[in-house]
């Protein structure tokens, strides 16, 4: 089973700080990775995806991919209480389905 690993947290950051979420993966053949945000009882919402080594920025979010280290991260700048949610990292498996990590719970405190 190809694994996507995340620290379950909770990760607590003060409002306005940078939240750093990390993910490692075991399938060296994985090419694309996705970050989703999930509020309790709701379906996941796509934040961004990344498939090239390096950084990809979208507003307050920056995804980073390091294929040599098999590491993906998500930075959230100027964190807001509304960012409090579970963040899911996912890779694509051989059947083109998303293979999710267990998620990291983020709490942004006012």
**Which residues bind to other proteins, rule: CB under 8 A?**
34, 41-46, 49, 88, 93, 95-103
In the complex with other proteins, the residue whose CB is nearer, 7 or 17, is: 7
Cα 87 → chain centroid = 5
**How many C-beta atoms lie closer than 10 Å to residue 106's C-beta?**
22
Residue pair 91/99 in contact (Cβ under 8 Å)? The answer is yes
Residue 16 CB, nearest approach to other proteins (Å) = 28
Residue 44 CB, nearest approach to other proteins (Å) = 6
Residue pair 23/71 in contact (Cβ under 8 Å)? The answer is yes
In the complex with other proteins, the residue whose CB is nearer, 17 or 56, is: 56
């Amino acid at each position: 089973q190809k694994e996507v690993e995340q620290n379950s947290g909770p990760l607590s950051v003060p409002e306005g700080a940078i939240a750093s979420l990390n993910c490692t993966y075991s399938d060296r053949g994985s090419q694309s990775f996705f970050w989703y945000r999930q509020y309790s009882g709701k379906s996941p919402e796509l934040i961004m995806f990344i498939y090239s080594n390096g950084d990809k920025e979208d507003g307050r979010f920056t995804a980073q991919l390091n294929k040599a280290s098999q590491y993906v991260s998500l930075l959230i700048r100027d964190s807001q209480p509304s960012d409090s949610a579970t963040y899911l990292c996912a890779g694509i498996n051989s059947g083109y389905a998303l293979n999710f990590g267990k998620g990291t719970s983020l709490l942004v405190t006012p």
